[in-house]
Amino acid sequence: MTTGLFSTAPSVSNSPVLQRKPYNSTSIRCCKDSNPRVNLKLPHDDNCLVSFPEKNHYPSKQKPPRPRRIILVRHGQSEGNVDECVYTRVADPKIGLTQLGISQAEECGREMREMIEKDGADDWKVYFYVSPYKRSLQTLRNLAKAFEKSRIAGVREEPRLREQDFGNFQDQEEMKIQKAVRMRYGRFFYRFPYGESAADVYDRITGFRETLRSDIDIGRFQPPGQQSPNMNIVIVSHGLTLRVFLMRWYKWTVEQFEGLHNTGNGEILVMERGYGGRYGLLMHHTVEELKKFGLTDAMLIDQEWQKFAKPGELNYDCETTGPSYFTHFGEENKTM
C-alpha cells in the first residue's frame, strides 16, 4: 500500500517476529513534558507534502486570482548608454542613471499608473521584481514615486534579472572587436570571454520564470483574504534580459530572438491577461508596435491565439513549433 511519498511493503511472512505495530510518525515523546505524547499537525497538500500557508486559504484545487498584467520595464538611460568609456572605470553593476534616465523613470511610473487606473478598479496594486544593478534600482525608485505606499504590495530584488555579463570592459578596443565578432556568430550563442552569451541568460531566466509562475500560482503578492485579480507585476530589468524573458515565456525560436530589438530606455512592454486567462502582448500593444519590436507574422498569429487561450492549453497550430521546421510538407501536398 502506498501513502504519499512513502510505501509500506506487503507482509511476506506470518511470523510474529515480522509483525510489528505501525509507527505513528506524527507522535513525539518529550522527556521533560508531562504529556507523554505530543501530536504535530503540519499543513499538507493533496500529495502529503508540507505546503505554503497561502494555499491553505483556498478551497481544494482552487487557485488565487492571476495578476491582471506583467509589465516589463527597461531601465532608464544609463551613463553607459551615453558613453561606453564609463565601463573602463566603473563596474557594470555600479553604473547609474543619467539625469535624463531619472526623468524617463519618473515618466514611466506616471504612464504606468495612468494605464492601471483606466481599468476602473479600486483595489489595484503593484508588485516589483528588480535587477540588483544600480541603474535598475534607481529606475525602480524613481518610477515608484507615482505610487503611494498603500498601492505597493511588495518588492523582490532578483539577481537572475541582471544584465548579460559582457566580460572584461576595461579594454575598450577589445570589447569593440568582441561585439563585431558577435554580430558574425549571432547574438544568442556568442559568449563573451569571461562573460555570458544570451543562451546563458536564457538558462537563468528559465529558473526565474518558474519562480514567477509559482508565485502566481500560490498568490505570493498579497496576504490570504486580500488577493485581487487587479494585481500588476512589474519587472525592472535590462534590454537583452527582457527579450530573453519573452523568448522563454512564449517559446520563441533562436531565429525569432535574433530579429528582436530593445525597447527604449524607460519604456515598457505589457503582457496582459487575455479573455481566457493567458498573458498576451496584443491585449495592450498594437500589431504595428509589436512589428517594430521585431515580431514576425507567425509570432503575431500566436499572440492572437494567446488573447483567447486558457492557461495550460497548447497551440497545436503554431507555425514556429511545427511546419516551419520541415521542408518536405509542400512536396507531400503536391502528391496528394
Burial class (CB in 10 A: 0-12, 13-18, 19+), 299: buried
Please indicate if the annotation marks 322 as binding a ligand.
Answer: no
46 or 286, which is more confident: 286
Say whether pLDDT at 5 is over 70: no
Q: Are 54 and 219 within 8 A, CB to CB? A: yes
Say whether pLDDT at 23 is over 70: no
Helix axis angle, 239-250 relative to 297-306, nearest 10°?
70
Please indicate if the annotation marks 103 as binding a ligand.
Answer: no
Please indicate if the annotation marks 285 as binding a ligand.
Answer: no
Say whether pLDDT at 336 is over 50: no
**pTM of the predicted model as reported, rounded to 2 decimal places:** 0.79
pLDDT above 70: percentage of residues in the chain: 77
The catalytic residue among 54, 106, 163, 272 is 163
- Known catalytic residue: 238? no
Please indicate if the annotation marks 15 as binding a ligand.
Answer: no
Please indicate if the annotation marks 80 as binding a ligand.
Answer: yes
267, 299, 265: which is closest to 282 by C-alpha? 299
Q: Specify the DSSP class assigned to residue 158.
A: -
Q: Are 68 and 228 within 8 A, CB to CB? A: no
Chain centroid to CA 128: 11
321: number of Cβ within 10 Å: 15
> How much is the mean pLDDT over the chain?
83
CA atoms of 18 and 6, how far apart (whole Å): 19
- Known catalytic residue: 75? yes
Q: Which of 70-79, 179-188, 315-324 has the lowest mean pLDDT?
A: 315-324
The catalytic residue among 54, 75, 158, 238 is 75
Residue type present at position 183: M
What would the pLDDT profile of 138-175 be if each residue is shown by its tens digit? 999 999 999 999 999 999 999 999 999 987 766 677 77
What would the pLDDT profile of 74-124 be if each residue is shown by its tens digit? 999 999 999 988 988 899 999 999 999 999 999 999 999 999 999 999 999
